[in-house]
Structure 1
Amino acid sequence: MYINGSWTDAEKKQTMEVINPATNELIQETAKADETDAAKAVAAASTAFPGWKKTTAKERSSFLLRTAAILREQTEELAEILTAEMGKPLKEAKGEIGLGIDYLEWYAEEAKRAYGEIIPASSSSKRLMVLKEPVGVVAAVTPWNFPVAMITRKVAPALAAGCPIIVKPASATPLSAMKIVEAFDKAGLPKGVLNLLIGSASPIVGELMRSPEVRKITFTGSTEVGKKLIEQSAATVKKMSMELGGHAPFIVFEDADIDAAVEGVVNSKFRNAGQTCICTNRIYVQKSIEKTFLEKFTARVKELQIGNGLEDGTDIGPLIDEGAVKKVQEHVADAVQKGGTVMYGGEQASGCTSDKFYTPTVIADAKDSMLISTEETFGPVAPVFTFTTEKEAVERANHSDYGLAAYCFTKDIGRANRVMDGLEYGIIGINDPIPTTAQAPFGGVKESGIGREGGRQGMEEYLEDKFVSIGNIE
């Protein structure tokens, strides 16, 4: 762990194992924190807050830029660590690290743009102003599927705003988090400003939630866990930002470039073996092009190579654990039982180095009654639904609970605008299957989250408005 500027064992000397899902082999043992260690991290961050708050925007910016430069030099090493601990292909790992560096550099610039404002007063004897101030100590709970980008997307704006931060990465992926913190340490970040806790979520997060010193929680993960954290935050009225579950629709209209749409679905659905909160979950294809789309899509999916992410040519790595494999199997079995047609895949991959690989799967004749149409699969399974009219497509695409990301392929600009207006999602890609970028806000509506990360909006999540009225000015 990393607390108050030093690498340290857990107070009770507990350890945990980090396993490579592609091989089931032990990579490394790490310290395993509990509530005692979490309390130490909170104390360190609280002590660091007054000094960090007073640093200039330029100073905070310089730490982020130096860290970005260090990580850029270490991209190859960090990518191999990331792939080993969670399985994604090395090329995807490098892309994620590039995005993580983008967040550091973006917020290094945004640190200088936390502008306040002057408000015209209703009296000539007053001056009214709004100051932007850091919210205080932040606790960040990050997921395993994008362990680098999700940490930098939270740490960068927090530090830029003047907030110390405590990071609790997923238990499956602590090694990449350690490497990121090591880069900040090399950049000379003052002690206590960034702290790292590795271990089971319950004792660590429980202490962070109870502490009145922690003023904000930023969480990326399941809607179920997010709701629990929101409930727990009430006791100390913490500021919250939540990036929760999704169930992204991908609508392909008959006027779309079908080849581009096929490639778009593949890029969205099968990135990270389908273990992405904004990846396609439901593919809606207009009835008139169903046959052509299915033929081309199935042929393209058959080309995807399954294997260890460290091997050249791998497109799809393993799922993160046995539970993920079981959920995919349940969704496929349910789809088949309810009339779905498996065009390709539908089974665990054979001849692989572990039992966590699942063949990329295409299911035709998908129906709204299937589990896969309402629950987030988080695996390499692509169900294809059909629709007749634009109105029907939008109505069915809008999920009753989720509203994170949605996609649409069409050449009709009028239709694009209508669909954009009709879809109830925080992120929409029109002829763009991978819309995420550092300079744009990322987040959902409904039960897919609260607040935004990325863009200038992401900086606001770590700032409070302080209104000042000065009287007796002549």
Structure 2
Amino acid sequence: MADEPSKQSGATLAEYDLFIDGAFQESTGDERITVGSPYDDEAWATVPNGTEADVGVAVQAARDAFEREWRDTLPSDRAVVLHEIADVLDKHDAELGELETRQNGKLLREMKPQMNAAAEWYRYYASQCRTLEGRTIPVENKGGDVLNYTTREPLGVVGAITPWNSPLLLLTWKLAPALAAGNTFVHKPSEETPVSALRFAELLAAETSLPDGTFNVVPGYGEGAGTALTDHEDVDKLSFTGSTAVGRQIASTAGERLTPVSLELGGKNPNVVFADADLDNVLNGIVKGIFAATGQTCVAGSRALVHEDVYDEVVDRLVDRAAAIELGDPLEESTQMGPLAFRNQYKRVKGYVDLAVEEGATVAYGGEQPSSQPGTCFIEPTVLIDVENDMQVVQEEIFGPVLAVIPFATEAEAIALANDTDYGLAAGVWTNSVAKAHRVADGLEAGTIWVNEYRMVSYASPFGGYKDSGIGREQGEEGLEEYMQTKSVWIDLSEEVSDPFRLG
């Protein structure tokens, strides 16, 4: 693990190199990053800590591939490659899913199906390749004797930085539309979870017709390889998923260079529960939103705003549900919640629980490290009550299985509480009233609203945030547009000489 050394069992560690221009290549630097299992702290692999020079080589490989062939590859041929990538994910779902689990401790029962789900993103964007159409625009210049049409073109080289919580799926949200649009790609995965990206790149080189240099992977730390990628003058588009603080830095860099940028950042997402809701369904949704994936997801429903008439019942039932969650080995099918992804993340989450108590909150359940589990990264599912909306634990993203439950009295108060945050990524609304559902969904400041469900995404539906939760959209047609630029072409059909001192 990158933040503090993992214990080593004596077994030989798997060693990976950079993946550039269709093959593994040695780094120009000597430093390596150890990858460990958050379940038992065992180290099992090492990767290079990519240097600025390494990033430069990768960007040049991507530029060469773009200029040489990928930009001019027919959309129908790009679609064929995207289908091949989808087939790789289907074929190697067990291997890639296990690599994901060994890196970040998320459940194999989630990560293996996630590989199959990711495959559908490539198939969806393969279908979008066949609809990359411009349009003809009726204009009135010269009495209409002018033809104006648009074309959509790729941006060029994409530099992407992804987090550790769902490494290959979140890579897919960027890579699939970028390739469909005709761009080439340099990927800097999280230093905590680099192995699956390197293995994925190796499989694509061996089992697809993706041209060499089109997809490159340079692992490393954010302040090294990450900064080198965002600062590189030959990168035409930046895409980042991660913390709002780092997103601001990348946006600032992109702004100075006028580089297009997409940012999918943090969230402090509310589940708004009204008294008329089906509470069995509510409980399932809240658990799904905050305790699944150990709360390590940007859409984690970390605030439950509950109508005062059902508040006590919901809290009691949440405590019972939290106490019944099966912690354990994420590779085991019976496990319902695994460890946090690495030791520093455990310290962060535990620190927020302790801070909540200092601020006056009550831990209704959890908040401790269970002695029955190995390693140093487990924390119990945690339910906080007696919280106020201005507390740090309610306002700041914790990124762990910590739920703050707050009562409200009226619909207007619920909306105000939900919106009283710097974030605006997602929200859940729980009610049996169709009219109320529409009113509240309309009033919430968030990019995704679920009604009587939670934590659902689709390749066809746009995803992104309001406010500090990001810029731009991923998935759907909107996600494809993030990786394209529009050209407007004017053709004079009149054969008349224009007035040189007149516009139009």
TM-score, normalised relative to structure 1: 0.98
1:299 aligned residue (310, 316, 320): 320
Q: Secondary structure at the match of 1:288?
A: coil
Quote the Cα distance in structure 1 between the aligned partners of 2:103 and 2:203. Answer: 19
Aligned pair 1:20/2:37, yes or no? yes
Give the letter aligned to residue 315 of structure 1.
Q
In structure 1, the partner of 2:118 is: 100
Displacement of 1:180 after TM fit?
1.9
Displacement of 1:10 after TM fit?
0.7
Give the letter aligned to residue 365 of structure 1.
D
In structure 2, the partner of 1:33 is: 50
TM-score, normalised relative to structure 2: 0.92
Please, what is the CA RMSD of the aligned residues? 1.3
1:42 aligned residue (41, 59, 78): 59
2:201 aligned residue (157, 181, 203): 181
Quote the Cα distance in structure 1 between the aligned partners of 2:338 and 2:494. Answer: 67
In structure 2, the partner of 1:263 is: 284
Q: Secondary structure at the match of 1:113?
A: coil
Displacement of 1:182 after TM fit?
2.1
Q: Are 1:406 and 1:427, in contact at CA under 8 Å, matched by a contact in 2?
A: yes
Displacement of 1:221 after TM fit?
0.3
Give the letter aligned to residue 107 of structure 1.
Y
1:464 aligned residue (478, 485, 495): 485
Displacement of 1:307 after TM fit?
1.2
Quote the Cα distance in structure 2 between the aligned partners of 1:85 and 1:450. Answer: 28
Residue segments in structure 1 that go unaligned for 5+ positions in a row = none
Identity %: 37
**Pairing 1:51-450 to 2, within 5 Å after superposition:** 51-122=69-140, 123-185=143-205, 186-450=207-471
Q: Are 2:268 and 2:421, in contact at CA under 8 Å, matched by a contact in 1?
A: no
Quote the Cα distance in structure 2 between the aligned partners of 1:444 and 1:465. Answer: 24
Give CA-to-partner distance per residue, 1:295-334, whole Å, 9 cap, x none.
2221111111111201231111111222222222222222
Quote the Cα distance in structure 2 between the aligned partners of 1:350 and 1:415. Answer: 45
Quote the Cα distance in structure 1 between the aligned partners of 2:302 and 2:268. Answer: 5
Displacement of 1:473 after TM fit?
5.0
Give the letter aligned to residue 218 of structure 1.
S
Q: Are 1:283 and 1:383, in contact at CA under 8 Å, matched by a contact in 2?
A: yes
Quote the Cα distance in structure 1 between the aligned partners of 2:452 and 2:199. Answer: 36
Q: Which deviates further from its counterpart, 234-243 or 139-148?
A: 234-243
Q: Secondary structure at the match of 2:167?
A: coil
Give the letter aligned to residue 228 of structure 1.
Q
Quote the Cα distance in structure 2 between the aligned partners of 1:439 and 1:350. Answer: 43
Q: Which deviates further from its counterpart, 319-328 or 16-25?
A: 319-328
In structure 1, the partner of 2:3 is: none
Q: Are 2:93 and 2:113, in contact at CA under 8 Å, matched by a contact in 1?
A: no
Give the letter aligned to residue 137 of structure 1.
V
Computing the radius of gyration from Cα coordinates, the structure with the larger value is 2
Give the letter aligned to residue 417 of structure 1.
H
Alignment coverage as a number of residue pairs: 474
Give the letter aligned to residue 433 of structure 1.
Y
Quote the Cα distance in structure 1 between the aligned partners of 2:33 and 2:307. Answer: 50
Q: Secondary structure at the match of 2:144?
A: coil
Quote the Cα distance in structure 2 between the aligned partners of 1:281 and 1:344. Answer: 15
Quote the Cα distance in structure 1 between the aligned partners of 2:231 and 2:57. Answer: 14
Quote the Cα distance in structure 1 between the aligned partners of 2:163 and 2:360. Answer: 34
Quote the Cα distance in structure 1 between the aligned partners of 2:236 and 2:354. Answer: 45
Give CA-to-partner distance per residue, 1:358-383, whole Å, 9 cap, x none.
00111222222322110111111111
Quote the Cα distance in structure 2 between the aligned partners of 1:89 and 1:356. Answer: 14
Quote the Cα distance in structure 1 between the aligned partners of 2:47 and 2:59. Answer: 20
Q: Secondary structure at the match of 1:148?
A: helix
Q: Secondary structure at the match of 2:257?
A: coil
Q: Secondary structure at the match of 1:127?
A: strand
Give the letter aligned to residue 37 of structure 2.
N
Quote the Cα distance in structure 2 between the aligned partners of 1:107 and 1:184. Answer: 17
Q: Are 1:134 and 1:163, in contact at CA under 8 Å, matched by a contact in 2?
A: yes
Q: Secondary structure at the match of 1:238?
A: coil
Quote the Cα distance in structure 1 between the aligned partners of 2:220 and 2:97. Answer: 22
Quote the Cα distance in structure 2 between the aligned partners of 1:170 and 1:327. Answer: 18
Quote the Cα distance in structure 2 between the aligned partners of 1:256 and 1:385. Answer: 16
